[in-house]
Structure 1
Amino acid sequence: MAGRRRWSTEEILDTAAELLQTTDAESFSVRKLAAVLGTDSSSLYRHFRNKTELLRAVADRILVAAMDGYRPEGDWRQRITAVALRLRAAFGQQPPLAAIWGRYASGGAGSRLVMDEVLAALRASGLPDEQIPVRYHRLVVLLAALIAAEAGASSITPEETEQGLEQFRVAVLGADPERFPALAHFAREVRPLGADREAAFAEILAAHLAQIEASLP
């Protein structure tokens, strides 16, 4: 009787990424992945010690893809913006993995590429070395939150989107001006959370970088 096929690490990660397109991190399990591959969990634990390590590896491949072909160009703000837009685009193609990146982070090659470039760009800004780690941390937390939030919004179905818009219109345009005076005043100008996310991403990032620039010696 022939033995079961031995899957490579890359094949396991490919299948895990596909499975994570239809399930979240909580529902995902090594056992489910093994079932899809037609093998047992123990064979996968030869490649990854646990579920968290596997999820980190899947997320890291998105970072590797995002940084593929990247070359530093422009000043420090342009370099950080270019990296941020690459991350946004890469996770936009696989939205469920954005939340995994924000939750589990990564210590792989992709993570190191992103970290090294952002740290180098911050250093090029003229910030004192002792301030750079904290600035880096705040910046990456911001990017992870923005990208995960946008990915979450993009993963809902058209029917869910329309239902949400209808609820938004009812809640905002129908707001009682005596109980919610500010909301009633701005009702026709307030936009749904999912509107203009690209512009919001660019503006929030630009504002954060401007804050860093204002603190330069």
Structure 2
Amino acid sequence: MNDRVVPAVERRRRRPTKQGVVLSEELIVATALRLIEEHGADALSVRRLGRALGADPSSLYRYFRHTDDLMLAIADELIGRTMCTWRPRGDWRADLRDLGLRMHAGALAHPRAAVLSAYRVTGRAHEIEAVEAILGVLRGAGFPDAEAVRIYHAFVDQALAFSALDSAGAALPKPARDAETSVWRTTYARLPAETHPHIAATARHLVADMGRSSYPAALDLLLDAAAARLAALAA
């Protein structure tokens, strides 16, 4: 966790804001997350956030030193929301697949915030919990420590990369999303076999597949490779 200007026990307001709420770090993060999804990155300003909370903007500095500090807290909150829904069952491959899909779905639930936070390293409580849990699954499966870290790194980076990619698409206005999806049908599916034989041969599959995320398939490929690596190490 990053140091704060004021110790945690002293941060709570002694009286409600104009809207009758008592400020807390959790309330500020939740409000900032809502504003980002409504208005984009420009919403993450002390003035706009203070107005939404009905509080003097300067009071927010009792909780966060600056907006980047708040952004790290938002990133950690998204991690926490995923981790609180996930419980490992003892099958390392199934557990990691379940977690990866939950990470991806959590990002798509907050696409604008996910685009802003997917590349950040927070060093906060929820992120630390996630690192510990994933490494525990891999080491428990029998991966040596160096291999566990390599696979952890690939697993997390893959999930975050697809989360950012697919969230950026989800954050587009619907007409733009629909227009991009239609390109596979209106352009690629009409290319002649004489000039583009491979596209023409697979056109119906391109139309059916390219409109959805490839993350589940990519995740399975990664886990298949990890399983093959584990079998090779055991042999």
For 1:102, the aligned partner's letter is A
Residues 151-209 of structure 1, C-alpha deviations (whole Å, 9 max, x = no match): 23333343223322333333313436565443344333313775242xx3222112101
Per-residue deviation, 1:52: 1.7
Q: Structure 1 residues 185, 136: CA separation in 2 closer, same or farther (over 3 Å shift)?
A: same
For 2:206, the aligned partner's letter is V
**Structure 2 match to 1:209:** 223
Q: Structure 1 residues 26, 171: CA separation in 2 closer, same or farther (over 3 Å shift)?
A: farther
Is the CA contact 1:175–1:183 (under 8 Å) kept in the aligned structure 2? yes
**Percentage of matched positions with identical amino acids:** 28
Per-residue deviation, 1:73: 0.3
Q: Structure 1 residues 213, 166: CA separation in 2 closer, same or farther (over 3 Å shift)?
A: closer
Corresponding residue to 1:165 among 181, 205, 228: 181
The count of aligned residue pairs is 213
Query: Is structure 2 residue 132 aligned with structure 1 residue 116?
Result: yes
Per-residue deviation, 1:4: 8.5
TM-score (norm 2): 0.77
Unmatched 5+ residue regions in structure 1?
A: none
Residues 91-117 of structure 1, C-alpha deviations (whole Å, 9 max, x = no match): 232222222331223222221221111
Q: Tell me the secondary structure at the aligned position of residue 136 of structure 1.
A: helix
114-123 or 168-177, which deviates more:
168-177
**Structure 2 match to 1:44:** 60
- What RMSD in Å do the two structures reach over aligned CA positions? 2.6
Query: Is structure 2 residue 24 aligned with structure 1 residue 32?
Result: no
Unmatched 5+ residue regions in structure 2?
A: 1-14
Is the CA contact 1:102–1:144 (under 8 Å) kept in the aligned structure 2? yes
> Map of 1:57-72 to 2, 5 A cutoff?
57-72=73-88
**Structure 1 match to 2:11:** none
**Structure 2 match to 1:137:** 153
TM-score (norm 1): 0.83
Q: Structure 1 residues 162, 51: CA separation in 2 closer, same or farther (over 3 Å shift)?
A: same
Q: Which 4+ runs in 1 deviate beyond 6 A?
A: none
**Structure 1 match to 2:5:** none
